[in-house]
Chain A
Amino acid sequence: MKVTLSIKRFDPEKDEKPYRKEYTIDVEPTFRILDCLDKVKWDIDGGLAYRRSCSHGICGSDAMMINGKNMLACQVLVQDFKKKYIKIDPLPSLPIIKDLIVDMDGFFAKYEVVKPYLISKTQPPVKERYQSQEDRALIDEAVNCILCGACSASCPSLWSNDAYLGPAAMLKAYRFVFDSRDDAQAERLDVVDTPDGLWRCHTIFNCVEVCPKEINITWHLSQLKKKCAMREL
């Protein structure tokens, strides 16, 4: 079958600004959008640039906007779309480096701000630290994040204020604040309990809608908000 991709292109060495270009290719209905991009790259234009690696939704390389929604190109198939005209854009609101490749430095800088690592102030035992199944369950969803950036790039609060930490970074804060083994709750809450942290989340739920790992990010942020409110008492 035939499908037409309308891809946003931008080559910083040639173009003043991004433009759209259409490519009509022969595909199988079971092709991933990533396979379609490969087909364009390999058969038509070798210069088309996008990131990819695992090809099955675990490495987080290929988040992009497909028909207006952020998703992983390797996690959707041609047959998932009714119309065979598919629009592909880089993740919105991030600086474009080339074609579908965006600059994620800012995204990762925010990730680093929340101290994304276990801080334990006690000497570890000879064997493992114990953690109950109930405590482990608190971070079940949060540890699934693949840092693809789809959520943060879909957040209107972030679009309008670049200083906002954004959902992915705060989900990471949650992952450690609610890890029973961590001893740096207060330090981390200080980072997120700010106007450009938790309180800029207006529960718009865009992030939840796009997360390819189906993490209920907003719920996690609400738990963090509760924690912050509690400590004010």
Chain B
Amino acid sequence: MIHKHDLIIVGAGLAGLRAAVETSQYADVGVISKLFPTRSHSGAAQGGIAAALGNEEHDKVEWHVFDSVKGSDYLGDQDAIEMMCGEAPDAIYELEHLGVPFSRTKEGKIAQRQFGGHTKEVIDENGNSKRIPVLRACYSADRTGHVILHTLYEQCVKRNVRFYAEYFILSLIIDDGVCKGLTAFNLRDGEIHTFHAKAVMFGTGGYGRAYRVTSNAYANSGDGVAIAFRAGIPLEDMEFVQFHPTGLYPLGILVTEGARGEGGYLVNNDGDRFMKNYAPTVMELAPRDMVTRSIQTEINEGRGINGGDFVNLDLTHLGAAKLKERLPEITGFAKTYAGIDPVKQPIPILPTAHYSMGGIPTDLYGHVLADEKGTIVKGFYAAGECACVSVHGANRLGTNSLLDAVVHGRRTGKTLVKYLREAEFSPLPDDAEKKDREMFANLYGTSSGENADKIRLRLKEEMTNKCGVFRNEKDLNSMLDTIHELEHKFKNVHLSCKGKVFNTELMEIIELGNLLEFSDAIVTGALARQECRGAHWRTDHPKRDDVNWLKHTIAFKTEKGIELKYKPVVINKYQPQERKY
């Protein structure tokens, strides 16, 4: 079946829905999502969304820009960061106008809180300038992503946006360098559909599910990233995966940074507050990547609790009242998932794969780029976590990613409105669904073969161990071998359920194919990058190397395997400095 819309948006998280709100008054828009829209992972974001509103204290866009550049370990493109931080206040006010129930200050303005890495400049008693935390994260209790996601969906209902919920996209139709649509299958009946469009926008989210321990939803299998890669689009900076220091053991469910902000201790098996050995002055409040590496070192050197792969986050000294007032959500998580009462017992935690800095390369206006020279792919756009503009460089600051999704969803929407005024439908190639139908036929035809779950488990386990917080040449090479071996096995993967209706086994197999596809790009990029920058830490090359590596990785899929090219970082105002806090 062929559907025709001016614009097809894939993804109903903050990026996709914000773009839908922007475009739907002017064009015929269809939004495809494998999840019902309000189930998208944007809803899990707790902490906040950054913007220098200055509602609680003096703040400046310029400070937000500097913090983001520094946080990115100077790999973020400064033109993109300037634009994002500059548009942030308007983008937030618009969200408020659309109905987002932000928490409020005493005067009734949008409330703001502190978050790691966001600072203001002050002059100390000796006349020296220094930077201290600033109240910049706009929030709605600890459910910021949830309320924004629901509000944007509500606005789409108001605008009568056409949703294709529980449709799973399979491939892009790119012909002569022009994107003409895509194929998807309807989970409800297993039928393959073709979507013909003047333009396609991806807002398909992140790829944390390549790791065993992750804060990411099942759905975050990087489908969009993999599908673009397969269609000949390169991927940028894939090796930069953020690991959050405190995932609840063993699953990796997020325990917010706020727990340490409120005074929580990190303790190893010897009862030591080990951060004194790594960051004696700031202790538990060192930057995310540093705390993550410290925890992982304790675990690797056998000082995990009872020799296991976790340490303790101790909040018991904070007392019941403070936990109830400030950290109710994570107190609940600890009780529900670890059976632990944080008032009486420490919480077992370990680093957890959290955010994908890399993705589909785009310019400032959401156009997807076909190469390192900046050639635009006509008719193809991307925004949000699946895209790499790059505003996060080697490490994103907390609360900058909801902002990224909203600002770029909005700006890409504006670009699209202009484009769609002029654009025409290009004719579809004959039988765009052929490859997908063959893939389905192959899978449905299997009577035995490799077990998908074994492949998935091994991939996730080894990615966590070999391409995780600490990396080195030997492990990365071995990881590449594993991926190639698993890719080989995957060719013979067995689909045991032959039904058409909600064949979620089929969906998981396709997702697994996508995990393998982009994991190759993560590991290849990580192996080549012989330095430490932000979230990418090579124990065999333990320094940042601006002479050789202050550049973006652009990975291409070729017949011979992945080929890496590079492009320069945009540096405007801020020259790279050592990243000290």
Contacts and interface: CB of A to CB of B under 8 A. Distances in A.
Interface of A: 11-14, 29-30, 32, 41-43, 45-47, 49-61, 75-77, 79, 97-99, 101, 104, 108, 112, 115-118, 120, 124, 126-133, 136, 139-140, 143-144, 146-147, 179, 181
Contacts of A75: 336
B337 A30 contact: yes
Given A54-B41, A61-B39, A146-B146, A98 B502 contact: yes
A136 B43 contact: no
A118 B99 contact: yes
Contact of B503 (A47, A59, A116, A136): A47
Interface in B102-142: 102-110, 140-141
Contacts of A56: 44, 253, 333, 337
Contacts, number: 150
B96 interface: yes
A126 B43 contact: no
A99 B502 CA distance: 9
B93 A46 contact: no
A59 to B, nearest CB: 4
B101 interface: yes
16 contacts: A30-B338, A41-B504, A52-B218, A54-B41, A55-B251, A59-B38, A77-B339, A97-B501, A108-B36, A116-B157, A127-B93, A128-B97, A129-B96, A136-B104, A143-B140, A144-B143
B500 A58 contact: no
Interface string B326-354: 00000001001111000000000000000
B382 interface: no
B116 to A, nearest CB: 22
Contacts of A29: 339
Q: Taking each of A43, A54, A115, A126, which has the highest tally of chain B beta carbons within 10 Å of its own beta carbon?
A: A54
Contacts of B333: 56
B44 A59 contact: yes
Nearest to A128: B96
Contacts of A126: 93
A60 B38 contact: yes
B337 A32 contact: yes
B109 A118 contact: no
Interface in B438-488: 453
Nearest to A140: B141
Contacts of A128: 92-93, 96-97, 102, 109-110
Nearest to A30: B339
Interface stretch (B414-422, B491-499, B519-527): B491-499
Given A11-B499, A47-B503, A146-B146, A130 B38 contact: no
B218 A136 contact: no
A179 B96 CA distance: 12
B224 to A, nearest CB: 16
B109 A130 contact: yes
Nearest to B332: A57
A130 B107 contact: yes
Contact of B35 (A12, A59, A144, A179): A59
A12 B264 CA distance: 52
Contact of B104 (A49, A51, A79, A133): A133
Contacts of B38: 59-60, 146-147
B87 interface: no
A79 B337 CA distance: 10
A136 B106 CA distance: 11
A54 B339 CA distance: 19
A57 to B, nearest CB: 8
Given A59-B35, A59-B43, A12 B501 contact: yes
Q: Taking each of B108, B140, B188, which has the highest tally of chain A beta carbons within 10 Å of its own beta carbon?
A: B108
B154 interface: yes
A64 to B, nearest CB: 14
Contact of B253 (A43, A55, A118): A55
B505 to A, nearest CB: 4
B41 A143 contact: no
Q: Taking each of A29, A61, A118, A181, which has the highest tally of chain B beta carbons within 10 Å of its own beta carbon?
A: A118
Contact of A139 (B40, B44, B101, B495): B101
Contacts of B373: none
B46 to A, nearest CB: 9
B269 interface: no
B19 interface: no
A51 B217 CA distance: 12
B101 A42 contact: no
Contacts of A120: 97
A86 B525 CA distance: 46
B501 A179 contact: no
Contact of B495 (A42, A46, A61, A112): A46
Contacts of B502: 49, 97-99, 101
